[in-house]
Chain A
């Protein structure tokens, strides 16, 4: 293999507000190899790729392409330098044909005659064929399968002259058959002398297709390994880390009564496939159950079903000895389930409203907050002030829009609201995502306090450290099923990592 470097990153740093997404990343890709960048969600892989393709600009550090320092200020610059990126969510215009999507953005000619388009379509089809990337170039994008759309995106980069092709989580949208086809394509690209970089969190794929593997965790680049000189076990260990924190003293109630029992649950996801497929679990009173797994394995759908936001196709849900008949948010709220959603500003809080209105979201129907359809305005203001003080939410003014608060304070406000409901079960989805260390500890203490009061928590997280620190039991989800379950005492990072990657 060629030893010259296509891409070299030196000490790359990217900071988003208080969050350090990339911490002095050094990364080298050889010409003509398939290089896999591996890491959990939030490890910083996509950020690195976005800087390489000009979407973000590094806060500090240097990018070298073909040994020369490169100034990549915009995606246009990246294209000029021969870097093409295939995003996880495709950048396609669904009503245009495949060929039209590819020539989109081309400067000339101004007048595009029918003949010109026919010639271009033929040219594109020939290019696609050369790399074994067949798709009907004259057909509208909305009529193409997801796999075909992805091939179209790859051809688009080739058409624009890319010799370094980046694929961000390319298999997350594909069926297993389509994924195999993609790997064959990647090998073909390599044989044609192209350099391929792909990010993924699926171990098996990496072992199947990559020449070299780089592992990232929490914004740092840990190691680069030759595939031939490593194995799944070593990579998994690197990916999830080894530093184990001392667990705090825990007051688990042994053998609490069964609070929630889910059996054979089948739930259809947004893309029409089964997001949960025969899922089962039990939550007892006074325990924190952690749901581990890489995003997109059914965690989101599980949380939504329990919050009453999503219906299920088959299976049973029994909560406090009541069998649920259908999905209803009000029913879930009244039954005592509180929900800290994944994206607090998207679905948890209303950014342009003040603290009072945001605190009222779940409780405004109760007699304490409203009477005969009228809100008890004066009383609600006092109540909100009390909660804001109790949960130490720092806000300029109680009526100030909550989007002005820091992420940590927004999350505190959200927790204040959800805990005030006196829930029997709290479903917390990535509750510490994007928070700094202090705010993370605050959230952890709130969850532990709930447990110590005899309430239960379903903690959905991708952060193994967090799960190991807090959970009494950890259930690992993969492909909508329970891959494995382990108690706190017996939890072992290596096994969890293997389960999360879908390896038994």
Chain B
């Protein structure tokens, strides 16, 4: 009788690109089955989603508005993943950035626009970076698992947000709405025309280009590449692994912090309860779909932004918008399964 066994391929090569495509296709197929179970036509639902996200000028700008934080957070986590630091704390780093940027509006209310916005940006970036540092330092000094710390810090940031918006920073004129007073014009990012699309898009694209240049062209980027490919070989080249972990987590958190600043200053125009619908988590999928490539992140961020917006538009068909969460989860599931199964070889005995 022919039997087979499964073996792990020790060479650790990357799974081919079509595994990513297959993962996305399978995710849509799986969710289609769920939609069919509700009695709706999956084709019609997907067409509605696509239309809602990409067919109208309003849909497109909304998609881009959602893509901005995904791009920045995705870029941030991708830097950490390059050196095999599993930062899943972009959500907390995003919130920390949003809180710090808002703090500028609360404590320095009178600043003119050309001062207020840069100060808010720096504050948001610094707070996100600090949040990243909280993950990096225990990792470097005590070898504490970064997955656990970065995840737990998300809840710390979230509770911090709840504290300020329900407590000291709550708008006295807001009729008990858990949010700060609205930002002044000097504290809000410029908009494109009369859409909701804001200047954060430029920030995100600049960050993407800078990251691409640094990662591909500089000595620092080379060191990241070497650490990511083989940390032991990097150690033999005299590269300081711990220093790199600290710096990368500062940048990773800083980028998510910028996203938080852009969200309060460009979209919400105030800090409020539930400021992030999970951008920091979705960004993890965005980074992996793009295989950590900075320009790929632009594409996958727009796709996932479209998924969120499309999720809203299917509500008119009587489906909940959480259909997009379902899709996100399915995509991640198949991606991870693909990257693990891609390492397994079937051996026929």
A residues bordering B, Cβ < 8 Å?
Answer: 73, 307-309, 328-330, 332-333, 339, 341, 346-353, 357, 360-362, 364-365, 370, 373-375, 377, 401, 403
- Interface pair A373/B235, CB less than 8 Å apart: no
- Interface pair B222/A364, CB less than 8 Å apart: yes
Stretch at the interface among B59-67, B112-120, B126-134, B226-234: B226-234
Stretch at the interface among B140-148, B212-220, B271-279: B212-220
Indicate whether A348 sits within 8 Å of B229 (C-beta atoms), given known contacts A73-B349, A360-B222: no
- Interface pair A348/B226, CB less than 8 Å apart: no
- Interface pair B218/A375, CB less than 8 Å apart: yes
Q: Closest B residue to A369 by CB, please name it.
A: B219
Contacts of B175 in A (CB 8 A): none
Within the complex, what minimum Cβ distance (angstroms) separates B339 from chain A?
Answer: 14
Indicate whether A370 sits within 8 Å of B236 (C-beta atoms), given known contacts A353-B229, A357-B226: no
CB < 8 Å neighbour of A348 from B218, B225, B233: B233
> Looking at B12, B234, B238, B349, which has the most chain A CB atoms within 10 Å of its CB?
B238
Q: A329-B237, A357-B226, A375-B217 are in contact. List 11 more A-B contacts (CB 8 A).
A: A307-B236, A332-B238, A341-B236, A348-B233, A350-B226, A352-B229, A353-B225, A353-B226, A357-B225, A375-B222, A403-B13
- Interface pair A346/B218, CB less than 8 Å apart: no
**Complex Cα–Cα for A92 and B14 (A):** 31
Contacts of A377 in B (CB 8 A): 217
**Complex Cα–Cα for A167 and B282 (A):** 51
> What are 27 inter-chain pairs, A to B, with CB distance below 8 A?
A73-B349, A307-B236, A309-B235, A309-B236, A328-B238, A329-B237, A332-B238, A333-B237, A333-B238, A341-B236, A347-B230, A347-B233, A350-B233, A351-B11, A351-B229, A352-B13, A352-B229, A353-B229, A357-B222, A357-B225, A357-B229, A361-B226, A361-B233, A361-B236, A375-B218, A375-B222, A377-B217
**Complex Cα–Cα for A330 and B240 (A):** 10
Contacts of B349 in A (CB 8 A): 73
**Complex Cα–Cα for A332 and B225 (A):** 22
SS class of chain A's interface: helix, strand, loop or mixed?
loop
SS class of chain B's interface: helix, strand, loop or mixed?
helix
Contacts of B13 in A (CB 8 A): 351-352, 401, 403
**Complex Cα–Cα for A401 and B229 (A):** 11
Within the complex, what minimum Cβ distance (angstroms) separates A380 from chain B?
Answer: 10
- Interface pair A349/B218, CB less than 8 Å apart: no
Contacts of B222 in A (CB 8 A): 357, 360, 364, 375
CB < 8 Å neighbour of B236 from A329, A353, A401: A329
**Complex Cα–Cα for A364 and B14 (A):** 25
Q: Closest B residue to A307 by CB, please name it.
A: B236
CB < 8 Å neighbour of A339 from B11, B217, B236: B236
**Binary flags per residue of B235-262, CB closer than 8 Å to A gives 1, else 0:** 1111000000000000000000000000
Indicate whether A374 sits within 8 Å of B217 (C-beta atoms), given known contacts A307-B236, A349-B233, A350-B230: yes
**Complex Cα–Cα for A145 and B305 (A):** 56
> Looking at A328, A346, A347, which has the most chain B CB atoms within 10 Å of its CB?
A347
Contacts of A347 in B (CB 8 A): 230, 232-233, 235-236
- Interface pair A352/B233, CB less than 8 Å apart: no
Contacts of A403 in B (CB 8 A): 11, 13
Would you list which residues of chain B between 192 and 233 have a CB under 8 Å from chain A? 217-220, 222, 225-226, 229-230, 232-233
**Complex Cα–Cα for A360 and B14 (A):** 22
Within the complex, what minimum Cβ distance (angstroms) separates B130 from chain A?
Answer: 25
How many residue pairs between the two chains, A and B, have CB atoms under 8 Å in the bound complex? 74
**Complex Cα–Cα for A329 and B14 (A):** 29
- Interface pair B218/A361, CB less than 8 Å apart: no
Would you list which residues of chain B between 23 and 53 have a CB under 8 Å from chain A? none
**Complex Cα–Cα for A375 and B217 (A):** 6
- Interface pair A329/B217, CB less than 8 Å apart: no
Contacts of A346 in B (CB 8 A): 230, 232
**Complex Cα–Cα for A401 and B14 (A):** 11
Contacts of B236 in A (CB 8 A): 307, 309, 329, 339, 341, 347-348, 361
- Interface pair B230/A349, CB less than 8 Å apart: yes
**Complex Cα–Cα for A332 and B238 (A):** 9
Contacts of B237 in A (CB 8 A): 329, 333, 361-362
**Complex Cα–Cα for A31 and B274 (A):** 75
**Complex Cα–Cα for A323 and B125 (A):** 45
**Complex Cα–Cα for A28 and B23 (A):** 54
**Complex Cα–Cα for A377 and B217 (A):** 7
CB < 8 Å neighbour of B219 from A341, A348, A351, A365: A365
Within the complex, what minimum Cβ distance (angstroms) separates A206 from chain B?
Answer: 33
**Complex Cα–Cα for A353 and B233 (A):** 12
Contacts of A333 in B (CB 8 A): 237-238
Q: Top 4 A-B pairs ranked by shortest CB distance?
A: A329-B238, A350-B229, A330-B238, A350-B230
Within the complex, what minimum Cβ distance (angstroms) separates B216 from chain A?
Answer: 8
Contacts of B225 in A (CB 8 A): 350, 353, 357
Within the complex, what minimum Cβ distance (angstroms) separates B240 from chain A?
Answer: 9
Contacts of A362 in B (CB 8 A): 237
**Complex Cα–Cα for A349 and B11 (A):** 12
Q: Closest B residue to A344 by CB, please name it.
A: B233
**Complex Cα–Cα for A330 and B223 (A):** 14
- Interface pair B219/A352, CB less than 8 Å apart: no
**Complex Cα–Cα for A422 and B12 (A):** 32
**Complex Cα–Cα for A351 and B237 (A):** 15
Within the complex, what minimum Cβ distance (angstroms) separates B5 from chain A?
Answer: 8
**Complex Cα–Cα for A256 and B2 (A):** 65
Contacts of B12 in A (CB 8 A): 351-352
Within the complex, what minimum Cβ distance (angstroms) separates A438 from chain B?
Answer: 23
**Complex Cα–Cα for A371 and B274 (A):** 46
Contacts of A339 in B (CB 8 A): 236
**Complex Cα–Cα for A360 and B229 (A):** 14
Q: Closest A residue to B237 by CB, please name it.
A: A361
**Complex Cα–Cα for A347 and B238 (A):** 12
Within the complex, what minimum Cβ distance (angstroms) separates A73 from chain B?
Answer: 7
- Interface pair B219/A374, CB less than 8 Å apart: yes
Contacts of B226 in A (CB 8 A): 350, 353, 357, 361
Within the complex, what minimum Cβ distance (angstroms) separates B220 from chain A?
Answer: 7
- Interface pair A373/B218, CB less than 8 Å apart: yes
Q: Closest B residue to A328 by CB, please name it.
A: B238
Contacts of A341 in B (CB 8 A): 236
Within the complex, what minimum Cβ distance (angstroms) separates A50 from chain B?
Answer: 15
**Complex Cα–Cα for A357 and B234 (A):** 11
Contacts of A353 in B (CB 8 A): 225-226, 229
**Complex Cα–Cα for A358 and B236 (A):** 12
**Complex Cα–Cα for A329 and B223 (A):** 15
Contacts of B219 in A (CB 8 A): 364-365, 370, 373-375
Q: Closest B residue to A352 by CB, please name it.
A: B229
**Complex Cα–Cα for A357 and B219 (A):** 11
Within the complex, what minimum Cβ distance (angstroms) separates B184 from chain A?
Answer: 40
Q: Closest A residue to B5 by CB, please name it.
A: A74
Within the complex, what minimum Cβ distance (angstroms) separates B293 from chain A?
Answer: 15
Q: Closest B residue to A304 by CB, please name it.
A: B236
Contacts of A328 in B (CB 8 A): 238
Within the complex, what minimum Cβ distance (angstroms) separates A411 from chain B?
Answer: 14
- Interface pair B220/A373, CB less than 8 Å apart: yes
Q: Closest B residue to A331 by CB, please name it.
A: B238
**Complex Cα–Cα for A349 and B236 (A):** 10
Indicate whether A329 sits within 8 Å of B230 (C-beta atoms), given known contacts A360-B222, A370-B219, A373-B218: no
Contacts of A307 in B (CB 8 A): 236
Within the complex, what minimum Cβ distance (angstroms) separates A414 from chain B?
Answer: 10
Within the complex, what minimum Cβ distance (angstroms) separates A71 from chain B?
Answer: 11
**Complex Cα–Cα for A136 and B219 (A):** 54
Contacts of A309 in B (CB 8 A): 235-236
- Interface pair B11/A329, CB less than 8 Å apart: no
